[in-house]
Amino acid sequence: MDYRDPLFSVIMFVLLVLISVMLSMFFGHIKEILKRKQIEELLKEFDYLEVDNLKIDKYSIDALGLLAKAYEIKGDYEKALKIYLVIQKQSPSHTILKNIARLYFKAGFLEKARNILYQILKVSPRDKEALKQLILIDEKLGNFSEILDILKIFEELGVKMEKEKANAIFKIENNKWKIKEYLEFLKKYPFTRREIAERLFFIDSKKAYEIVDVYEDLDLFFYRKDIPKIEKFCNILAAKHKTKCDIKAPFEIEAMKYLPNDLAELEFEYVCSNCKKIFPIYSSRCPNCYELYSLKLLTKLIEKKDIENIEF
């Protein structure tokens, strides 16, 4: 066949396309093998978590995953890790790696969790779940500038995470701003009211009293001695027997108006509006579900105890 024959050109073109496709598949396969080896190398440092007499097949992986989840809920992270590591060796997947990273995070091994997530992101740089886990780890490590970089990736994906952005900016700039900056920030991110008010009580209590919600932020100022004598705080002052107020208040405050000072007092707890868990101490992020700005104040009326006469 003459090389100038049009049929020859067609055959050569088809051959070149086939060769190109085969080379792409070959190098893609090699790349996948190298990535898998990289992950396996990473997991070697966790080999001390051996599982005795545990044999699994492809049909039991789902059941073992449920068992690992049950151990995790119980707080037995070591047993959950053992199961996940065996599953990963038998049937590698990014989902299991993310579970392993989450458990190391919960157990306090932040760098180990971070290393695993970086390996996942090398393969899938836009994995939203891995990026969210990385945000939690960077927050624990105080890497708030890195969190802002991660949030830029989410913006490119069309995902707005205003609460995460506000939290990172506030943690970076807090203690640097003046009152004006705090108030401008509050205007832009109104869900940060409590955090801003708490900070302003150290800088200018007058401004703090202007922005607090009387009942939702009650724990921030109820036991202070500088509560303004204005109508906004009428019920609170009445509950402290500083004045009289006929405006109806929530039950606990209303009861305090009529109870003697030495009989009852207020106690505060915080419930997460997302997971409904209750905590004795406030935090910007829920310790259970990690939702930001989700803790709401619970006010309880309790018997006042005289701690001066308690023997230790």
| pLDDT tens digits, one per residue of 69-94 | 899 888 898 899 988 988 888 788 88
Domain at 45-160: CATH code: 1.25.40.10
239 close to 227: Cβ distance less than 8 angstroms: no
Please report which confidence band the pLDDT of residue 172 belongs to, taking 50, 70 and 90 as the band edges. very high
Query: Quick one: which of 302, 239, 294 has its CA closest to 270?
Result: 294
**pLDDT(42) > 60:** no
pLDDT given at position 306: 63
pLDDT given at position 55: 56
Please report which confidence band the pLDDT of residue 149 belongs to, taking 50, 70 and 90 as the band edges. very high
291 CB-contact burial (10 Å; exposed 0-12 / middle 13-18 / buried 19+): middle
CA atoms of 233 and 230, how far apart (whole Å):
6
Report which of residues 11 and 46 the model is more confident about: 11
CA atoms of 41 and 45, how far apart (whole Å):
8
Please report which confidence band the pLDDT of residue 52 belongs to, taking 50, 70 and 90 as the band edges. very low
Residues 242-248: what's their mean pLDDT? 92
Residues 144-156: what's their mean pLDDT? 95
Please report which confidence band the pLDDT of residue 28 belongs to, taking 50, 70 and 90 as the band edges. low
pLDDT given at position 34: 55
**pLDDT(155) > 80:** yes
pLDDT given at position 73: 87
pLDDT given at position 291: 97
**pLDDT(45) > 60:** no
pLDDT given at position 310: 38
SS3 content of the chain, % helix, strand, coil (to 5): 60, 5, 30
According to DSSP, the residues that pair with 267 across neighbouring strands are 300
Q: Which two tokens stand for residue 135?
A: 């945000």
pLDDT digits (tens, 9 = 90+) for 174-208: 989 999 999 999 999 999 999 999 999 999 999 99
Q: Which residues of 46-76 are buried (b: 16+ CB within 10 A; e: fewer)?
A: beeeeeeeeebeeeebeebbeebeebbeeee
Please report which confidence band the pLDDT of residue 29 belongs to, taking 50, 70 and 90 as the band edges. low
Please report which confidence band the pLDDT of residue 47 belongs to, taking 50, 70 and 90 as the band edges. very low
Please report which confidence band the pLDDT of residue 17 belongs to, taking 50, 70 and 90 as the band edges. low
